Structure 1
Amino acid sequence: MVLRWKTNFNWRLFLLFLTPLSLLIFIFLSSTTNPFSLLPQSPQPKPRPSLPRLPRTPNLETLRWKRRKAELDRSRVAICLVGGARRFELTGPSILENILRVYKNSDLFLHSPFDGGAYKFSILKDAPRIAAVRIFVPEYVPENESQARVLTASGSPNGIQGLLQYFNLVEGCLTMIRDHQTHHNFTYDWVVRTRVDGYWSAPLSPHNFIPGKYLVPPGSQYGGLNDRLGIGDLRTTTAALSRLSLIPSLDAAGYRTLNSESAFKAQLVTQGVDYHTNQIPFCILSDRTYAFPPSRFGVPVASLGSPGPLSGAKCRPCKAVCVGPCVGDVMESLEKGWSWTEWGNGILELCDASHAWEKGWERIFDGVGGRRYAAVRKRVGGMGLRECVRDWEVMRKRAVWWDAPSSTEICKKGLPGG
């Protein structure tokens, strides 16, 4: 007996659908393009630009920088600015951005002579913390026999008196720091001393704070050590900034005919202070003229737009006239222990500083400094008496200690028509 399955399956209907289905599969497999290209396509979104792949772990140098910076932020740091205002409308914003705002918990000390440019210091009203401001009328510093034996008038525009005025200016800032410590019953861990005519092209790195050593820039040694910047703890700083009071010690040690830089080195040596050099991203903005090309003991003047770091070399905003191999030819002809500065790897470009700043220097400066620095330059250049006095009053109220002429007197002395 043969059993037959009963079914209602319609074979004819199945064969009717099988033929077109086979054709569709054949086309699908044999297509040389996207197999779905025969189907209606929805619009595809535009591809997004690929982002750089970030490293999974921070760079070791970055970690060290952050760790050292965090240590300094927990320390007590004094920032000492000294010198005449001169072109402070150009240098001030860079000091604010690259020193004072980098170390926001530091205290600012300003020690400067009262002259026609002092009104420009109102830029510092935006400093994070202002500990003390002293703007004084310069007085003659009596010269004695010890100073006459130790120091030389050679190379100083105002002779030995010029050196004594400068030494008094620097040591005066140390006095301000000591008084502030005594009044508030604490001691600073670090002191940074720099000049107000320094233009900073990058932030001051925390790696320049070296325990037990006093840091100075290389180059511009003039037979001693570059004294345009110094960083150290209170002990090393005291030895470095005691420019006047240590002259008798230098005299007793037999030092003779020293200029500022060689006297500075002698101070550190006689006081047993170890010093260290490191390249620093700043230069001294100067209006002085110098022969070009410089001779063996001449002074090279860097273009403000040099890639840097310039470590306190003289500079100005200019169209560089000497770049690349020309720089090597000039710098190799200079006495390395005198006005020489680092120049390798294309970090230095030179100006012809044998004449006054060139026409259009403002545009050159603005191109280097950028919009914010340009805005400050223009604002200070067009400042009126009322705005000047207002800014000075803001600064005076923010300072812990103040010793300066009245805001009106400062502004009237410097502003046109004041």
Structure 2
Amino acid sequence: MPFTKRVSDFDWRFVVFIIFPVSLVIFFSFNLNTFSSFYPVQNFLFNLPFGGGGGVRKDELLRSRMAVCLVGGARRFELTGPSIIQNILKEYPNSDLFLHSPLDNDAFKFSLLKSAPNVAAVRIFHPQPLPENESYARVLTAHNSPNGIQGLIQYFNLVEGCLTMIKSHQERNNFTYDWIIRTRVDGYWNAPLRPENFVPSQYLVPSGSSYGGLNDRLGIGDLRTSTVAMSRLSLIPALDSADFTELNSEAAFKAQLTTQKVSYLTNRLPFCIVSDRSYDFPPGQYGVPVAALSSPGPLSGAKCRPCRPVCTGKCVEEVMVVVEKGWSWTDWGGGALELCNAHESWENGWEKIFDSVAGKKFAATRKRVHSMKFDECVNDFNEFRKHATYWDAPSVEEICTLGLKRN
């Protein structure tokens, strides 16, 4: 009898041990966004061996076919590129990289991608004005777009052009991708992209910075949802037929998902958009808060720059309660956000600030790009090119000459 009692006690404790963590996972899985303030706990729960929250296990993701679509001008890629390589491309070494970018003075910085694990396709093109038709003029608005409607359709063309590259690669190799990550080259990541952000049959976007629609600075989905989400230009006629008018990028993005009946969800993601633009401080109701790169985050694609924060703690609360929740707001709870005074250009000494925040490895890359010579650029770009399955770009010499002087 005593032996029977001890076995019974053990069984009961074992059941409790199993039920409690499973219950926690179910509890936190109802709404990723609602419980985003529990980010560290959420990260732990979704990485338990049995997964959770509708997300996919890391080992399953590592066995899947995954495309990473990287779009935009190189700008500050010497700061953002290493973080993308480390926290996305090397976090998922099974992923294939697709780069779609206009040629400019900073394009030489893409030579850093020579260390990317797998390069499927690269397209660097001479930018040209795109035709604007009546449908675009009705559906889109130039308000708050630095380059008007032309700026919007150029961005939409970058995104949809990358989708075209992905489809071509699938056709050439007779397979389909399970997942597509679409992100921007000006995103700085301070932590890895986690498995809970891959949710079957739903399109995941960052929370905050929604500007009356949905944050379109990153998206993760399966092939079906990603095809809809990345069809930024070809779905404008459908929005026109549905009588949508004067939409900004974020509102148009939300409209194309809802009209095509694509389910979406939001989550906090550990990246910010490194920006050279100036913004008033403190931001008003419809102003734009600019995060210090040192902010713990996750910042979910908020604008950021390397700066000495002028506003932390209670100050952040006083500023952010004024900012419109459905516009440029980003989650600031728990000390996640520190603010810059971004009303002027980057402050003197920003390089040391960046190096201190990013660490020695990323700092070394920044310095290397800053002092890069023409021959070094050519060699690195040639190595990058050798790794690519498909390459459509001007000559390596032209790319490097634009940004660097010949020796």
CA distance in structure 2 between the aligned counterparts of 1:200 and 1:391, rounded to whole angstroms: 23
1:395 and 2:384 are equivalent in the alignment: yes
Partner of 1:329: 318
CA distance in structure 2 between the aligned counterparts of 1:269 and 1:107, rounded to whole angstroms: 29
SS in 1 for 2:162: helix
Question: Which of residues 56, 63, 67 is equivalent to 2:49?
Answer: 63
Question: Which of residues 256, 269, 280 is equivalent to 1:267?
Answer: 256
Contact 2:109 / 2:369 at 8 angstroms: preserved in 1? yes
Structure 1: segments with no counterpart, 5+ residues: 1-56
Letter of the 1:414 counterpart: G
Cα offset, 1:63, TM superposition = 2.2
Query: After superposition, what is the alpha-carbon deviation per residue over 1:231-271, rounded to whole angstroms, capped at 9, x for unaligned?
Result: 00011001100000000000001100000000000000011
Task: Work out the percentage of aligned pairs sharing the same amino acid.
Answer: 68
Compared CA separation, residues 236 and 161, structure 1 to 2 (3 A): same
Partner of 2:368: 379
Partner of 2:195: 206
Contact 2:68 / 2:181 at 8 angstroms: preserved in 1? yes
Question: Which of residues 350, 358, 380 is equivalent to 2:347?
Answer: 358
Partner of 1:189: 178
SS in 2 for 1:62: coil
Matches within 5 A, 1:154-233: 154-233=143-222
Partner of 1:247: 236
Cα offset, 1:140, TM superposition = 1.3
Give the TM-score normalised by structure 1.
Answer: 0.85
Partner of 1:284: 273
Matches within 5 A, 1:279-358: 279-358=268-347
Compared CA separation, residues 183 and 285, structure 1 to 2 (3 A): same
Query: After superposition, what is the alpha-carbon deviation per residue over 1:200-219, rounded to whole angstroms, capped at 9, x for unaligned?
Result: 00000011000010000011
CA distance in structure 2 between the aligned counterparts of 1:127 and 1:283, rounded to whole angstroms: 21
1:92 and 2:81 are equivalent in the alignment: yes
Question: Which of residues 228, 235, 244 is equivalent to 2:224?
Answer: 235
- Greater Cα offset, 335-344 or 66-75: 66-75
Compared CA separation, residues 63 and 247, structure 1 to 2 (3 A): same
1:116 and 2:105 are equivalent in the alignment: yes
CA distance in structure 1 between the aligned counterparts of 2:136 and 2:106, rounded to whole angstroms: 30
CA distance in structure 2 between the aligned counterparts of 1:253 and 1:156, rounded to whole angstroms: 23
Partner of 2:139: 150
Letter of the 1:176 counterpart: M
CA distance in structure 2 between the aligned counterparts of 1:211 and 1:62, rounded to whole angstroms: 18
CA distance in structure 2 between the aligned counterparts of 1:167 and 1:64, rounded to whole angstroms: 38
CA distance in structure 1 between the aligned counterparts of 2:405 and 2:316, rounded to whole angstroms: 40
SS in 1 for 2:49: helix
**Alpha carbon RMSD of aligned pairs, Å?**
1.6
CA distance in structure 2 between the aligned counterparts of 1:63 and 1:248, rounded to whole angstroms: 45
Cα offset, 1:139, TM superposition = 1.3
Matches within 5 A, 1:119-138: 119-138=108-127
Cα offset, 1:62, TM superposition = 3.4
Query: After superposition, what is the alpha-carbon deviation per residue over 1:284-313, rounded to whole angstroms, capped at 9, x for unaligned?
Result: 000000000001100000000001000000
Contact 2:373 / 2:406 at 8 angstroms: preserved in 1? no
Contact 2:306 / 2:353 at 8 angstroms: preserved in 1? yes
SS in 2 for 1:63: coil
Contact 2:205 / 2:216 at 8 angstroms: preserved in 1? yes
1:81 and 2:67 are equivalent in the alignment: no
CA distance in structure 1 between the aligned counterparts of 2:264 and 2:253, rounded to whole angstroms: 11
1:411 and 2:400 are equivalent in the alignment: yes
Contact 2:289 / 2:303 at 8 angstroms: preserved in 1? yes
CA distance in structure 1 between the aligned counterparts of 2:386 and 2:253, rounded to whole angstroms: 36
CA distance in structure 2 between the aligned counterparts of 1:304 and 1:235, rounded to whole angstroms: 34
CA distance in structure 2 between the aligned counterparts of 1:373 and 1:294, rounded to whole angstroms: 30
Cα offset, 1:109, TM superposition = 0.2
CA distance in structure 1 between the aligned counterparts of 2:261 and 2:50, rounded to whole angstroms: 29
Letter of the 1:123 counterpart: L
SS in 1 for 2:57: helix
